[in-house]
Amino acid sequence: MTNTPEKWYHGVTRYQWLILVVASLGWIFDAFEGQLYNITRADMLPDLLHVSATDPLVKIWGERFLGIFLLGGTLGGWLFSSLADKWGRNPVMALTILFYSIFSGLTAFADEIWHVGALRFLVAMGVGGEWAVGAALVAEVFPKHARERAGGIFHATSVAGLWLAAAASLFVGANWRSAYLVGVVPALLVLWVRVSVKEPDAWKEAKQNKAARMGSFSELLGTPMWRNRAIFGALLAMVGLATFWGVVIAGQDLAADFLKRAGDPDWASKSKIAFGFIQTAGAGVGMLSFGPLSARWGCKRTFVVMHLAALLLTPLLCWLPSLFGSYALLLVLLPVFAFFAQGIHAGYAAYFPALFPTHLRATGAGFCFNTGRILAAPVLIWLSAWMKSALDLRLAITCLGVMFLLGVIFIAFLPETKDQPLPE
């Protein structure tokens, strides 16, 4: 017989729901701040560089800032995740939110191109750190039977941040400075965090018994069990993040390519709608579904199924619409593909915190996610860019989609956490 409640939310307290809301709001605004640059760069960079929008400098600096953001997010993720184990979840979550809010707001006053680079680095530090704190907090507060679902919901709320950024872009138009002023708003969440969030009992006990080892990278990477989980967790995250930048966001490019071939003069706006709303909706449903699926199958099997489904759907998405000459078929395939290809991202929040003991939980989860981010950089900066410039777009994306197979290999070296208590 099992003691698992019939309904996953049975027994979840008001405070536990509050924690999910607070953590999710932090992650929503985290995604919002990260996306602000992507939606304002076309106006901001020519303005600060004093060149036309088509000048090669715009693309060069645009890629440089993506690299800067990637590096800042990785370093911030490592730093703040360790501090969350040392200092506590509450103060570090508040600090990361302040980081990405204040430095995003200061971007509105940038007068030189290097100002943007420095501020994007600092914004990225907060963005990289907040995820690990929120994921660890949700895992520790929710009961075992609801942990995977709560973690999946937490990560899936990032879709709302992307939509908020898109709405802000439509509202401010070409006035990019106003968009960054809106970015200060999440700082108000800090007051709620400080008042509402209490340190989990498990963290308090660990702090009392293992104060000198809290958030220790030397223990994380020096203990064989934790090192194995950290390394393969980072490799698993690398697959998801590399395929996101190399394959998933190419949905807009595939739509644009199809419409251009069809001679549609409105290809630019239609491709943005196809990606920004239709594909993203499928991604949101996929991320929300990871928790229920992992509660039934386990995280490992859910990861395997989603990676294999994404592997299969990538070539179908690339070639079937062209074969049948059907844009409607492309619009059907985009959200189905995103359900699996982006749905795996919710698994990181549900799975990584459950791999590590309390005194290393945020450190381990942050190491996996953010090391995966920096390991994915060569795919984003070199391999993906080279393949898409040298090959037919559909062939390039099909080849990049083979990376989903690596996720199936890496997950084989990690344990199942379903129905298991969090390591202590």
Q: Calculate mean pLDDT across residues 206-211.
A: 83
Q: Do 312 and 258 meet the contact criterion of CB atoms below 8 Å apart?
A: no
**Residue 67 lies inside a defined structural domain of this protein:** yes
Same domain, 75 and 221: no
Q: Of 159, 193, 227, at which residue does a domain stop?
A: 193
Same domain, 140 and 279: no
Same domain, 189 and 219: no
For 339-382, the pLDDT digits (tens) are: 999 999 999 999 999 999 999 999 999 999 999 988 988 776 67
Q: State how far the Cα of 129 lies from the Cα of 82, in Å rounded to an integer.
A: 9
Same domain, 253 and 311: yes
Handedness of CA 158, 89, 354, 14 (dihedral sign): negative
Q: Of 130, 160, 193, at which residue does a domain stop?
A: 193
Instruction: State the average pLDDT for the chain.
Output: 90
0.85 surpassed by pTM = yes
Same domain, 288 and 372: yes
Same domain, 123 and 243: no
For 272-300, the pLDDT digits (tens) are: 788 878 998 999 999 999 999 998 999 99
**Residue 310 lies inside a defined structural domain of this protein:** yes
Residue 391 belongs to domain with CATH number:
1.20.1250.20
For 130-165, the pLDDT digits (tens) are: 999 999 999 999 998 898 899 999 999 988 888 888
What does the radius of gyration of the chain's CA atoms come to, in whole angstroms?
21
**Residue 209 lies inside a defined structural domain of this protein:** no
**Residue 6 lies inside a defined structural domain of this protein:** no
- Asked if residue 211 has pLDDT above 90, the reply is no
Q: How many domains does the chain have?
A: 2
Question: Looking at residue 381, what is its pLDDT?
Answer: 66
Question: Looking at residue 390, what is its pLDDT?
Answer: 86
**Residue 202 lies inside a defined structural domain of this protein:** no
Q: Calculate mean pLDDT across residues 220-247.
A: 95
Same domain, 333 and 391: yes
Same domain, 290 and 407: yes
Same domain, 316 and 391: yes
Give the domain extent around 226: 214-418
Spatial CB neighbours of 16, under 8 Å, sequence gap ≥ 6: 141, 142, 143, 146, 150
Same domain, 185 and 230: no
Question: Looking at residue 4, what is its pLDDT?
Answer: 54
Question: Looking at residue 1, what is its pLDDT?
Answer: 44
